[in-house]
Structure 1
């Protein structure tokens, strides 16, 4: 047994808003919690625990553990549910000491957590940090509250690439053909470098979610563009963004869906539309539908009317917790849920890919694009990893050829530098795929055998963390990153 448990001060969360997607703050990431969005140490009162019950937990650990000769600190990130259950998401002990495993087991079994409350409503899930200290043969523990100002500041730095493919030789012969322009808070009026979502409207105005705020960019100046019909308060953030065929902007803010018709903002009553939030908002240009992906399935807006697709209509759908949905050119609806992928064909018949032997089994699609020949391209998320905590999971991208055959590309069989991808776009002008990642930067794949990888160590892209991508009306590629806005333009 090691005589010291390491405490790491470096926090590696990939998002720093109060409400974030399921992210692990600390280096040792666990994958045994059911989490999508959660609130980061928010609320009034904040999440916590019953003091007497937690003291009893510590007493039991001290009775059961042999702490002789041990000293040190370990931080644990715990997800607290509305029902008072807890689950450890990550921790700082990179040595994986058996004592740490015992603490994790005790925290996961503890049933006296108290959920956070915001504006009188119990938060569904909240992340809090606990510091455990071993000294003088005794273990103590307490909550360490998050200082959001310091927390945000700690992330305003470039993320260096993590290349997991150790065999492919990246020549990057096409890099010289692109002009890469970056806008950051240091060289422009961008208020913050943390960009998660991007959409470009019909006239070409760029809309961005920047940290907690909503910002527009006309190519010269960034301006605040937040809705003005709801007081934001201390815990207001924007999480999803899209532009529909009528140039209406759709936004998910804290517990509200909004639209902006370029004149006024409209807020939609959750009781009327059936949702008060969304993981993703996706416009379907060919059908005029706007999809809102949430825990209630797919909520659809079209021609002023709202409808839903969920397990009540399609019992074979793996889950109502939908993170992505989009139609292809044949009007087939592709759906990514946190329990697998499904497709509803043009005859309204569903295929649940969990019941197939294709590469989509065990995967959730998280983005999709299509080329002029009907080939489909997907980014993948392995929702039930065989090896818990594995970073470079069995994900990558999948290609569904027009004949119905599938192929998956990962670091094992291609030039993919890292398997967790955030977006895939088909470039109709160059006939190549652009793939973004949150650890290895930008990938250019020519659909033959040439893979290129651009990041902050070999190009002027300022970071290896890319949240998502979009083309403008002229086919110019824009990257939403954690180090500002980036434009990649063919010379």
Structure 2
């Protein structure tokens, strides 16, 4: 029996603690993590409160880790498991939740140990109070090691209110059709809540890159990308990740480009073209890779590299390239800090001289629908740091007609768009905004707006949108990773 590892006092605490977990509670537990312990009930409590906060002595956690290390072969184990532990005023403890989706036997044993360990309650105004604290067990060099994990409560604070310039209101009739799930670094193994780059490969594996490391997610389990399975440290700053048409993974980190395929990881050496860094890695429809840089657009064509900048193409408004896109008509669109051009064969069109929504704007994103209509997100070249009515989204239809949507002439809540996704399953356009949350547009007349004040979204800043082969949408936000999935029968 596991409790036999403890002395008599600790065994008594274990039995009493387990009994306490079954007592009826005044209020339901405030679980931080997705894997909740059903039998663990608790009274009202505060999270990470007190001076000192509730804690378990490090020697006890070391003892627990030592017992686990003697029972399990952990040579190839990676990552960590975090537990939320409820500690009442008398020091009795019960694990409320954890972040191990596999619910492994090892995790079950750790829960038993944590329930039975001697704990010190939190002290508030000189009196012991009920609270919850976190314990993290990390797998390092073939063993497991535990310690108290203190949360940054400032990051847990609500993000504030979204900015909605459009005051017409939203019915949001489709909102009820979606199931929202949010992961953060507090309820999952995410390395950080903020990710400005993610990608989904052909097996529906989500690659989630942050400035504090990268992880993969296959729908239930997070798989950290670390020095054990990649060239990157577990806390490496990963700036860009992209999947090409052949399912190769391209990663930009440490001012270098890495390729990952069936042969493993390799450094893709053309640093001389990327001396000022990569803004984005982009896919071309014809299989080329496009690297947006401040020194021009670097195009990789099989084994050749071509650079498009002011020197090689004087018509380019600036060598500071923000975005590039190849549409179904094989037209190359290049957005720069001083305007946008389009290359169609040998014909180069500069939009700074034409009366279209692209005049004096930079395209920052592009998607197409089945009809061949192309949607662009816009940035005002003259006021790049300020939201203006020149921004929003522009559309060039398959017949060459231009449309422009902003918060004045449409149902857009604001004009600063960070990302776009054309939903090929529902045939709608999704927009991720900088300060207004998520926008759903049916391409004709219906606009919906979801954010932290009217939906389960954890915030209002959306960095990137991706969709897998089953129609599930993932949104990287300033407050965690969100999965948006259509409800069965909806």
TM-score, normalising length: structure 1 = 0.64
What is the DSSP-based 3-state SS (H/G/I as helix, E as strand, rest coil) of the residue aligned with 1:195? coil
Name the counterpart of 1:477: 473
Supply the distance in 1 between the matched residues of 2:382 and 2:414 (Cα, whole angstroms). Answer: 18
Name the counterpart of 1:256: 256
Name the counterpart of 1:368: 366
How far did residue 230 of structure 1 move? 9.6
Supply the distance in 1 between the matched residues of 2:436 and 2:167 (Cα, whole angstroms). Answer: 15
How far did residue 157 of structure 1 move? 4.3
Supply the distance in 1 between the matched residues of 2:314 and 2:156 (Cα, whole angstroms). Answer: 45
Greater Cα shift, 445-454 or 265-274? 265-274
How far did residue 329 of structure 1 move? 0.2
Summarize the alignment of residues 8-87 of structure 1 with structure 2, pairs less than 5 Å apart: none
The one-character-per-residue Cα deviations of 1:268-313 (angstroms, maximum 9, x if unpaired) are 33455554631001112x3111111101211122323322222233
Check whether the contact 1:213–1:238 (CA below 8 A) recurs between aligned residues. yes
The one-character-per-residue Cα deviations of 1:71-128 (angstroms, maximum 9, x if unpaired) are xxxxxxxxxxxxxxxxxxxxxxxxxxxxxxxxxxxxxxxxxxxxxxxxxxxxxxxxxx
Supply the distance in 1 between the matched residues of 2:234 and 2:468 (Cα, whole angstroms). Answer: 33
How far did residue 395 of structure 1 move? 0.9
Are 2:341 and 1:342 aligned? Answer: yes
The one-character-per-residue Cα deviations of 1:206-228 (angstroms, maximum 9, x if unpaired) are 10112331211121222221477
How far did residue 430 of structure 1 move? 1.4
Supply the distance in 1 between the matched residues of 2:188 and 2:233 (Cα, whole angstroms). Answer: 27
Supply the distance in 2 between the matched residues of 1:422 and 1:305 (Cα, whole angstroms). Answer: 31
Check whether the contact 1:444–1:451 (CA below 8 A) recurs between aligned residues. yes
Name the counterpart of 1:323: 322
Name the counterpart of 2:379: 381
Check whether the contact 1:161–1:441 (CA below 8 A) recurs between aligned residues. no
Summarize the alignment of residues 348-427 of structure 1 with structure 2, pairs less than 5 Å apart: 348-385=346-383, 390-391=386-387, 394-427=390-423
Aligned length: 338
Indicate how the Cα distance of structure 1 residues 252 and 271 shifts in structure 2: closer, same or farther if over 3 A, else same: closer
Indicate how the Cα distance of structure 1 residues 277 and 229 shifts in structure 2: closer, same or farther if over 3 A, else same: farther
Name the counterpart of 2:221: 221
Supply the distance in 2 between the matched residues of 1:341 and 1:327 (Cα, whole angstroms). Answer: 13
Supply the distance in 2 between the matched residues of 1:157 and 1:480 (Cα, whole angstroms). Answer: 18
Name the counterpart of 2:175: 175
Check whether the contact 2:389–2:408 (CA below 8 A) recurs between aligned residues. no
Summarize the alignment of residues 250-289 of structure 1 with structure 2, pairs less than 5 Å apart: 250-271=250-271, 273-275=273-275, 277-284=277-284, 286-289=285-288
Check whether the contact 2:182–2:483 (CA below 8 A) recurs between aligned residues. yes
How far did residue 326 of structure 1 move? 1.1
Q: Which has the larger radius of gyration?
A: 2
Supply the distance in 1 between the matched residues of 2:286 and 2:385 (Cα, whole angstroms). Answer: 40
Whose relative contact order is higher, 1 or 2, with alpha carbons under 8 Å and at least 6 apart? 1
Indicate how the Cα distance of structure 1 residues 300 and 389 shifts in structure 2: closer, same or farther if over 3 A, else same: closer
Indicate how the Cα distance of structure 1 residues 207 and 462 shifts in structure 2: closer, same or farther if over 3 A, else same: same
Check whether the contact 2:226–2:234 (CA below 8 A) recurs between aligned residues. no
Check whether the contact 2:166–2:414 (CA below 8 A) recurs between aligned residues. no
Name the counterpart of 2:60: none
Supply the distance in 1 between the matched residues of 2:308 and 2:236 (Cα, whole angstroms). Answer: 28
Check whether the contact 2:276–2:294 (CA below 8 A) recurs between aligned residues. no
CA RMSD of aligned residues (A): 2.6
Q: Out of 423, 430, 433, which is 2:429 matched to?
A: 433
TM-score, normalising length: structure 2 = 0.64
How far did residue 448 of structure 1 move? 1.5
How far did residue 240 of structure 1 move? 1.4
Question: Which residues of structure 2 form unaligned runs of 5+?
Answer: 1-149
Check whether the contact 1:158–1:483 (CA below 8 A) recurs between aligned residues. no
How far did residue 460 of structure 1 move? 0.9
How far did residue 363 of structure 1 move? 0.9
Check whether the contact 1:159–1:465 (CA below 8 A) recurs between aligned residues. no
What is the DSSP-based 3-state SS (H/G/I as helix, E as strand, rest coil) of the residue aligned with 1:354? helix
What is the DSSP-based 3-state SS (H/G/I as helix, E as strand, rest coil) of the residue aligned with 2:325? strand
Supply the distance in 2 between the matched residues of 1:393 and 1:228 (Cα, whole angstroms). Answer: 49
Indicate how the Cα distance of structure 1 residues 154 and 392 shifts in structure 2: closer, same or farther if over 3 A, else same: farther
Supply the distance in 1 between the matched residues of 2:483 and 2:200 (Cα, whole angstroms). Answer: 13
Indicate how the Cα distance of structure 1 residues 361 and 228 shifts in structure 2: closer, same or farther if over 3 A, else same: farther
Question: Which residues of structure 1 form unaligned runs of 5+?
Answer: 1-149
